C-alpha cells in the first residue's frame, strides 16, 4: 500500500487540532462557569465559621425541689447529646439509611448522585434523593427546604466547607441534635424521651430503627398518626442495616417482628401547670424570652411534688363535692349529634395519659338500659349502676343519659380492662390553693384553677377577690399591739357609725347579738358587729397600716366594711400574710425559684428572699392562740380532723360569692379560695368558708403532712391556759383591795 498523500495527513492534523481546541475551549468555558458559579453562590453563603459558636435552641428544664422535672420551655424541643452518648445501633441505622458512604465521602457522594439520577430518569420523577448527611445538615442549619437548583448548589458548597472544618464525629453529632423527628421534637434525645420515655443511649434496635425511619418524613411516618406506615418504614431501615452488614439476618428478622412499642410521654407539664406558668413569666421578666426559650436554662424551683399532688387532688375533690351538693345539671356533649366521631373511633383528649385510681376522666356512654349504663374510657369499659349516680336523684340512667354522651367519672378501681367508676360532672365553680413553707417563704404547692386546659387564668396569683372575715387578722393584730388582750370585752350589740360619709350599721352572719364578749370569742365566732366596733376604737387607718406591714399591696378602701373583708386581695398575698403568726412575727418573702443555672451548669441566679419584721413575738403568739381557738370552738372546727396543732380563719363574702380558709401548722401555711370567675354568681346559700373551702384545706394538709412528725407551736400559750393564768392573777388572794370581773372561760368545742 502506498503511503497517504501529505495533504491527507495534514488534513487529519488540522481536524485533530480543531477538535482539541474545541475541547479545551469547552473545558475553559465550563471551568469559567464553575468558577463563576462558585463565586456567585459562594459570596452569598453563610459563614461556616458561625458553627464555631453555634448552639441550637435547647429546652429549658424546670425542676421541683426533689429534682423531678415538672416542665419545659422551648421554641424547639431539643436536648443535646454528645457523640459518645449516641449508641452504635443508632449510628449504624442512620448511616445505612441516609448516607451509606458517610465515613468515606467528602460531603458529596458522586456515585450516589449518578445512581439517583439514573433512578430518576428511569422512573420519570424525583424518586430518589442523593443528599449526604452533611448536605442534610447544611440544609437544616443554613438553608430552606425549597427544592431548587440554586439551593442544591449552595447545599453542596456548604457541605464541602463543613467537611473541611469539622470531623465526621462532630458532623454526625450536630446532625443527631438538629434533625426534626415529629411532634415538635428536634434531635434524637428529645424524640427518644417523647416516643419511648427513655434516653437515646437506652434505645433498643427496633426503637433506634423507628426513629431513623422518621427522618425521611416526620409527618408522613409519624408513629402516633400513621403507625402501620411507620412500621413498614422501620422494617425497611432494618433491612438496609442488614444489607450494609450491620446486622445478621436473624437479628434483623427478630427486630422486624417487634411492635413499635410506643410509650409516648406528652409534655403536658400537668403536675403543676399554673406553678410552671408563673415560673415562665418570672424567667421572661428576669432573663428575657430569648434566654427562657432557647438557651437551655436549668431552673430549680421550690415546688414539693408530693404536696402539689395533694393540693391538686384536694381542689378537684372539693369542687366535685360542691357540684354534687347542687345536683345534676345535664347539658352534656353528645359526639353523635355534634358529629365528633363514632362510638368506636372517638378519643378524648384526657385519654392520652395512663388511667390512674381516683382520677377524674372523660367517659363515653356506649349503651343505656333501665338499670345501668355502659361506658368506654380509652379501651377500658365501666358499668354505671344506681349507687354510682344516686346523688343525681335519678333512678334510671335512661332518665338523664343517652348513647354518645360524654360524662365525667372518677376512677375508684381498675381490674384488667374493667374500671369501677362513680359519676361526676365537670365543675363550673373554680378553686385555688397556695401553700408556703413558713420558715423559708418557699411556695410548696400552687393550684390556680380546676383545669389549666380550660383556663390559663391563675386564681392564686392573678385573681383579686374580696377576702371576707379572713381580713380580721389585721384588725385584731392592731388591737393586741395597742395593748388589748384576748380577754378584754367588746360589745356585740347593734350600733351605727359613719363610714364614707354615710351611716353604716353592720350585722352578724346569724343576725343575732351576744352582748359583751371577749376578743378571742369575737374572732373565733367571726362576729362582724364586734369587729367594726373594735375598728372604731383602734382606728381604721391603723388597721390599714398593719395590713401593709403584712405585705398587702392592693388598694384598701378607707371605710369600715374593709375590716369585714371588703378588700380585693390575691390568695398568694393573703396566704403569705398568715405565715407571720407561726413565724413569731416574721414574714419571709414568698418565692417560686431557688436557683437558675445555664445549660453548662453555671449559676446565674439564686434566691435570697427578703425578711420582714411585722409583729412582736408576743403579739404573734397571742394571735396564734386566738386563731387556734377558731379551730377548737369557732367557725373552723372541722379542721380538728387534722389531728395536730393548727390555727386559721374562715372567710365568706356577701351573697356567698367567695369562700376562703387560711390556716397553718408550725411549719406550713395554706390558703384556699372557692368561687366563680364571674363575681356576680353566688356559690349558693350556706356555701361559706367552712363548707366550701375548709374541706379542701383539710384534705390538702392531711396529704401534705402525712408521715411527718407532729409539731407544737413554740412559745404559744393556749387561750384556755391564758384564761386560767389571768384568773389566778386577778383572784381575791392576789388583790384584796378589789374584786375584778372574772375572765370569761372558753366554752367546750362545738360544731359549726
- Contact present, 449 and 455 (Cβ < 8 Å): yes
- Give the up-direction half-sphere exposure of residue 501: CA atoms within 13 A in the CB hemisphere: 0
- Contact present, 188 and 78 (Cβ < 8 Å): no
Q: What is the DSSP string of 188-249?
A: HHHHHHHHHSS-GGG--HHHHHHHHHTTS-TTTT-TTT-HHHHHHHHHHHHHHHHHTTSS-H
| Chain centroid, CA 720 distance in Å | 45
Would you state the cell numbers that stand for residue 161, as one nine-digit string? Answer: 466547607
Active site residues: 98, 469
Residue 425: Cβ-neighbour burial (10 angstroms; 0-12, 13-18, 19+): buried
Cβ neighbors of 7 (< 8 A, separation 6 or more) are: none
- Looking up cell 378553686 gives 431
Buried b / exposed e over 462-486, threshold 16 CB at 10 Å, is ebebbbbbbbbbbbbbbbbbeebeb
Report strand pairing: 298-301 vs 60-63.
Answer: parallel
- Contact present, 524 and 531 (Cβ < 8 Å): no
Report strand pairing: 418-424 vs 380-384.
Answer: parallel
Residue 615: Cβ-neighbour burial (10 angstroms; 0-12, 13-18, 19+): buried
Helix pair angle (88-98, 133-142), 10° resolution:
90
Cβ neighbors of 475 (< 8 A, separation 6 or more) are: 531, 534, 535, 538, 543, 546, 563
Cβ neighbors of 634 (< 8 A, separation 6 or more) are: 523, 524, 525, 526, 752
Cβ neighbors of 104 (< 8 A, separation 6 or more) are: none
Under DSSP, the state recorded for 419 is E
Task: Provide the phi-psi class of 250: left if phi over 0, else alpha when psi is between -120 and 50, else beta.
Answer: alpha
* DSSP H or E run through 363: strand 360-368
What is the Cα Rg of the chain in Å? 37
Rounded CA separation 580/620 (Å) = 7
Cα-flanking dihedrals φ and ψ of residue 572, to 5°?
-65, -45
Rounded CA separation 161/165 (Å) = 6
3-state SS assignment for residue 242: helix
- Contact present, 699 and 318 (Cβ < 8 Å): yes
Tell me which residue of 410, 411, 396, 393 sits closest to 328, measured CA to CA.
393
Rounded CA separation 291/752 (Å) = 53
| Chain centroid, CA 379 distance in Å | 27
Other CB atoms within a 10 A radius of the CB of residue 47 amount to 9
Amino acid at each position: 500500500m502506498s503511503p497517504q498523500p501529505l495533504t491527507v495527513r495534514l488534513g487529519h492534523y488540522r481536524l485533530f487540532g480543531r477538535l482539541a481546541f474545541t475541547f479545551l475551549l469547552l473545558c475553559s468555558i465550563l471551568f469559567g462557569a464553575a468558577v463563576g458559579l462558585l463565586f456567585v453562590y459562594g459570596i452569598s453563603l453563610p459563614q461556616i465559621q458561625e458553627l464555631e459558636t453555634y448552639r441550637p435552641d435547647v429546652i429549658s428544664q424546670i425542676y421541683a425541689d426533689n429534682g423531678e422535672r415538672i416542665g419545659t420551655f422551648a421554641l424547639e424541643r431539643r436536648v443535646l447529646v454528645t457523640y459518645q452518648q449516641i449508641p452504635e445501633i443508632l449510628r449504624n441505622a442512620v448511616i445505612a439509611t441516609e448516607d451509606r458512604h458517610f465515613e468515606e465521602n467528602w460531603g458529596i457522594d458522586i456515585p450516589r448522585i449518578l445512581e439517583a439520577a439514573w433512578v430518576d430518569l428511569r422512573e420519570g420523577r424525583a424518586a430518589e434523593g442523593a443528599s449526604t448527611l452533611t448536605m442534610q445538615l447544611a440544609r437544616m442549619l443554613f438553608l430552606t427546604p425549597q427544592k431548587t437548583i440554586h439551593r442544591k448548589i449552595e447545599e453542596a458548597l456548604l457541605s464541602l466547607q463543613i467537611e473541611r472544618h469539622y470531623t465526621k464525629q462532630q458532623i454526625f453529632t450536630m446532625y443527631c441534635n438538629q434533625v426534626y423527628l415529629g411532634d415538635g421534637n428536634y434531635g434524637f434525645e428529645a424524640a427518644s424521651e417523647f416516643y419511648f420515655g427513655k434516653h437515646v443511649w437506652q434505645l433498643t434496635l427496633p426503637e433506634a430503627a423507628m426513629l431513623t425511619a422518621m427522618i425521611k418524613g416526620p409527618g408522613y411516618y409519624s408513629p402516633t398518626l400513621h403507625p402501620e406506615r411507620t412500621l413498614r418504614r422501620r422494617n425497611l431501615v432494618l433491612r438496609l442495616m442488614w444489607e450494609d452488614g450491620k446486622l445478621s439476618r436473624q437479628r434483623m428478622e427478630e427486630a422486624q417482628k417487634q411492635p413499635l412499642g410506643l410509650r409516648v410521654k406528652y409534655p403536658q407539664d400537668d403536675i403543676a401547670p399554673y406553678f410552671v406558668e408563673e415560673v415562665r413569666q418570672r424567667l421572661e421578666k428576669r432573663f428575657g424570652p430569648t434566654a427562657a426559650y432557647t438557651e437551655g436554662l436549668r431552673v430549680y424551683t421550690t415546688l414539693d411534688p408530693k404536696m402539689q399532688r395533694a393540693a391538686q387532688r384536694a381542689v378537684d375533690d372539693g369542687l366535685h363535692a360542691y357540684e354534687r351538693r347542687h345536683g345534676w345539671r345535664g347539658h352534656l356533649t353528645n359526639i353523635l349529634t355534634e358529629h365528633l366521631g363514632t362510638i368506636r373511633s372517638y378519643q378524648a383528649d384526657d385519654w392520652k395519659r395512663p388511667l390512674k385510681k381516683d382520677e377524674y376522666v372523660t367517659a363515653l356512654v356506649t349503651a343505656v338500659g333501665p338499670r345501668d349504663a355502659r361506658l368506654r374510657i380509652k379501651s377500658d369499659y365501666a358499668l354505671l349502676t344506681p349507687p354510682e349516680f344516686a346523688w343525681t336523684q335519678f333512678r334510671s340512667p335512661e332518665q338523664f343519659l343517652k348513647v354518645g354522651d360524654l360524662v365525667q367519672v372518677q376512677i375508684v378501681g381498675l381490674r384488667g380492662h374493667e374500671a369501677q367508676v362513680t359519676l361526676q360532672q365537670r365543675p363550673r365553680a373554680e378553686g385555688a390553693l397556695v401553700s408556703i413553707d413558713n420558715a423559708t417563704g418557699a411556695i410548696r404547692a400552687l393550684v390556680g384553677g380546676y383545669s389549666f386546659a380550660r383556663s390559663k387564668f391563675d386564681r392564686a396569683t392573678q385573681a383579686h377577690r374580696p377576702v371576707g372575715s379572713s381580713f380580721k387578722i389585721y384588725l385584731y393584730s392592731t388591737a393586741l399591739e395597742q395593748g388589748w388582750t384576748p380577754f378584754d370585752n367588746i360589745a356585740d350589740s347593734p350600733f351605727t357609725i359613719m363610714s364614707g360619709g354615710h351611716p353604716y350599721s353592720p350585722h352578724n352572719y346569724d343576725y343575732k347579738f351576744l352582748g359583751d364578749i371577749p376578743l378571742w370569742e369575737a374572732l373565733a365566732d367571726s362576729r362582724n358587729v364586734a369587729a367594726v366596733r373594735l375598728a372604731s376604737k383602734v382606728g381604721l387607718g391603723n388597721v390599714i397600716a398593719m395590713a401593709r406591714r403584712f405585705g398587702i399591696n392592693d388598694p384598701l378602701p378607707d371605710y369600715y366594711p374593709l375590716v369585714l373583708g371588703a378588700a380585693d386581695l390575691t390568695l398568694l398575698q393573703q396566704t403569705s400574710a398568715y405565715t407571720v403568726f407561726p413565724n413569731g412575727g416574721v414574714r419571709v418573702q414568698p418565692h417560686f425559684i431557688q436557683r437558675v443555672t445555664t445549660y453548662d451548669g453555671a449559676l446565674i441566679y439564686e434566691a435570697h428572699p427578703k425578711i420582714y419584721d411585722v409583729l412582736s413575738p408576743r403579739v404573734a403568739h397571742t394571735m396564734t392562740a386566738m386563731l387556734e381557738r377558731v379551730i377548737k370552738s369557732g367557725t373552723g372546727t372541722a379542721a380538728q380532723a387534722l389531728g395536730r396543732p393548727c390555727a386559721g380563719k374562715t372567710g365568706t363574702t356577701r351573697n356567698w360569692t367567695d369562700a376562703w380558709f387560711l390556716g397553718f401548722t408550725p411549719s406550713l401555711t395554706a390558703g384556699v379560695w372557692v368561687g366563680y370567675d364571674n363575681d356576680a354568681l353566688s356559690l349558693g346559700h350556706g356555701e361559706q368558708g367552712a363548707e366550701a373551702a375548709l374541706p379542701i384545706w383539710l384534705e390538702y394538709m392531711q396529704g401534705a403532712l402525712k408521715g411527718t412528725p407532729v409539731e407544737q407551736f413554740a412559745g404559744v400559750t393556749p387561750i384556755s391556759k391564758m384564761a386560767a393564768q389571768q384568773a389566778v392573777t386577778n383572784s381575791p388572794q392576789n388583790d384584796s383591795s378589789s374584786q375584778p370581773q372574772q375572765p370569761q372561760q372558753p366554752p367546750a368545742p362545738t360544731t359549726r
